[in-house]
Structure 1
């Protein structure tokens, strides 16, 4: 818009922001998306070949929201004619000492109408002999699980948004936000943009942005990393014959079949050190690297003949690790999305939720657990539980 006035402004164009600008633009709104770095940068949480998607969760609400995410990803696939979700299957592995309950996760998925198989260690190894499991390990398998093609999905969301009239600006760091009775004004360098509503999807920069309107949440930013390993027999780990998988105990290791490059991908979930978005480094933690290599050697002996590369990223974690998807308290024209380091799979439907909040101040989706007013978000030293 040449006059700098829009219906909505979205700050942050990672997974959640990109999905939000797509939803708003498709609904016919004029939208400005602001990204402080280049589009598709690797300084945050959202870029890589793949992100895991599943329907087994610790609450039924998450399982049902995952179903909605699948639907919304399918809509993006129809819009663009490109595949976004690869349903290679997902295997959740529960060792005898697992803090998480197989029965709870399976029951929640089944209550949502999903088909989930329970398997013994022997049954897992008969089907996927790549694994080496203790006989006490149990598993849950759901064929619907797999991965979202992360970088592709982000680019498609932004492309659809632009095709529907959205304006996306990179290298556009927000310097100030003024709240007015009829909306907001956002300052970027020497320019000022006005809108009826503002969506903050800024990942590890969330509190920096919210501070401009006198708000903040208790958030922990951690530096995480993924390791790409070259298997001795790569075809054994191709996505056509091997699932994504999760180790449902501490350290919570998870992994992907070969996709995007000739290596498997593995990582410890929420195992990194606390940082800030600006103090983080891009150097992998050698202790985390060693833990991944040791666990992979035990679980998947043929998977890690050599390290292809390692890549760092950030998590932005509420203390309870539930999402924040809500209006900012005290501001009925500003909404915020925080993904808790596990939102990519839900990004498609989170875009719908944030578009609803921006346009109507409410949503028909069940977001009762993700309010911005829950007490733990403002506690000074809240108890933290990051295991999902």
Structure 2
């Protein structure tokens, strides 16, 4: 067995782990990233060509985090020379109560936004049908997930980090407040801190070691739909139903965005079956696809609802959908991001670096053992 001595080990080379390594290496820390799969793999939650960037949240904590993330995305673009964040504008429409909360929170945070009549929105973005008035956010856009992870890892390596793919971690052993051992195959890494950003594998690695909240892992079924014409697409969130969602015929609200070279991505939010990440079949789920086609026929007149490419991805979520960003002894935990986390990647990297180096916590909302949190 080969032993390595480093300052920090990062377990997981997706968006969050790569961002943590980028920020740690930028502070002169000796850091190694251990990723169980090959570069560019599709088994986690950080692959693909498109993620929504937006600041339209009802919670001030997430608005602040998104605004920090936008600045950090631009910093990474400047450092790497890679274009990652494309501003397209974004729209929310549907359930009035949700829109009012978003509008008030964004206004209070000083972020730009405006109300549009559905007719005005249809003139700008004819590919969508609108459910009542529309809340428009000019800061919203699209992130290229694959390119972002590659850029983070490349810049982290430039700053001195070591990134090792196809290196699955088998155990983490705490030896003291400033001592942890991470075992991967025949190697052991001894460090002061370990940052675990393992997505769907978090419970398998940390269960019993730190007091995790419940983490639900599901296999989700979005899809790319073929556009019927070359029209602009904003990112969009449709808050379905003023009554029960069951009355709408759909299992949740719907998100989507245009993705050059792929089509128009659309999906339900957190409605897939619970899975073991090591036992996924990656096969399209017929019932979800049928409902997604039905949604496209009703609400996406700019696409061919029968010309679609299924996507398989995982969500890892907490009961409140809040992230876990906390530390227990020498173990820093980053979990529960799926469904809305990728936009925050570089800001989360900064938080994870702070947790590892100084123990500074981002607030009770993100704690391992969290009380009920109100905004």
TM-score by length of 2: 0.91
Q: Distance in 1 between matches of 2:93 and 2:38?
A: 38
**C-alpha contact 1:68 1:349 (8 A) present in aligned 2:** yes
Does residue 314 (structure 1) correspond to residue 309 (structure 2)? The answer is no
Summarize the alignment of residues 131-150 of structure 1 with structure 2, pairs less than 5 Å apart.
Answer: 131-134=128-131, 137-150=132-145
Q: Distance in 1 between matches of 2:173 and 2:273?
A: 34
Per-residue deviation, residues 113-172 of structure 1 (Å, max 9, x unmatched): 1110112222222322222335xx121101110111111111000000111111111111
Summarize the alignment of residues 169-248 of structure 1 with structure 2, pairs less than 5 Å apart.
Answer: 169-181=164-176, 182-211=178-207, 213=209, 215-233=211-229, 235-236=230-231, 241-248=232-239
Q: Distance in 1 between matches of 2:372 and 2:162?
A: 36
Q: 1:12 deviation in Å?
A: 0.5
2:147 aligns with: 152
1:335 aligns with: 332
2:360 aligns with: 362
Per-residue deviation, residues 276-299 of structure 1 (Å, max 9, x unmatched): 212322001111111111111111
2:248 aligns with: none
Summarize the alignment of residues 1-388 of structure 1 with structure 2, pairs less than 5 Å apart.
Answer: 4-94=4-94, 98=95, 100-134=97-131, 137-181=132-176, 182-211=178-207, 213=209, 215-233=211-229, 235-236=230-231, 241-249=232-240, 250=245, 251-259=252-260, 261-304=261-304, 306-328=306-328, 332-341=329-338, 342-363=340-361, 366-375=362-371
Secondary structure of 2:302's partner? coil
**C-alpha contact 2:297 2:305 (8 A) present in aligned 1:** no
1:382 aligns with: none
Provide structure 2 residue ranges, at least 5 long, that are not aligned to the other structure: 246-251
Q: Distance in 2 between matches of 1:53 and 1:62?
A: 12
Q: Distance in 1 between matches of 2:147 and 2:358?
A: 30
**C-alpha contact 2:126 2:302 (8 A) present in aligned 1:** no
Alignment RMSD:
1.8
**C-alpha contact 1:323 1:340 (8 A) present in aligned 2:** yes
Q: 1:174 deviation in Å?
A: 1.2
Q: 1:45 deviation in Å?
A: 0.8
Q: 1:375 deviation in Å?
A: 4.8
1:381 aligns with: none
TM-score by length of 1: 0.89
Secondary structure of 1:257's partner? strand
Secondary structure of 1:161's partner? helix
Q: 1:255 deviation in Å?
A: 1.2
**Structure 1 outlier segments of 4+, above 3 Å:** none
Secondary structure of 1:72's partner? helix
**C-alpha contact 1:207 1:215 (8 A) present in aligned 2:** no
Secondary structure of 2:192's partner? strand
**C-alpha contact 2:91 2:134 (8 A) present in aligned 1:** yes
Change (3 A) 1:305 1:273: closer
Q: Distance in 2 between matches of 1:133 and 1:68?
A: 30
Per-residue deviation, residues 329-356 of structure 1 (Å, max 9, x unmatched): xxx2111011431110001100000011
**C-alpha contact 1:85 1:147 (8 A) present in aligned 2:** yes
Q: Distance in 2 between matches of 1:131 and 1:178?
A: 52
Q: 1:306 deviation in Å?
A: 4.1
Secondary structure of 1:179's partner? strand
Q: Distance in 2 between matches of 1:299 and 1:51?
A: 20
Provide structure 1 residue ranges, at least 5 long, that are not aligned to the other structure: 378-388
Q: 1:376 deviation in Å?
A: 7.2
Change (3 A) 1:359 1:284: same
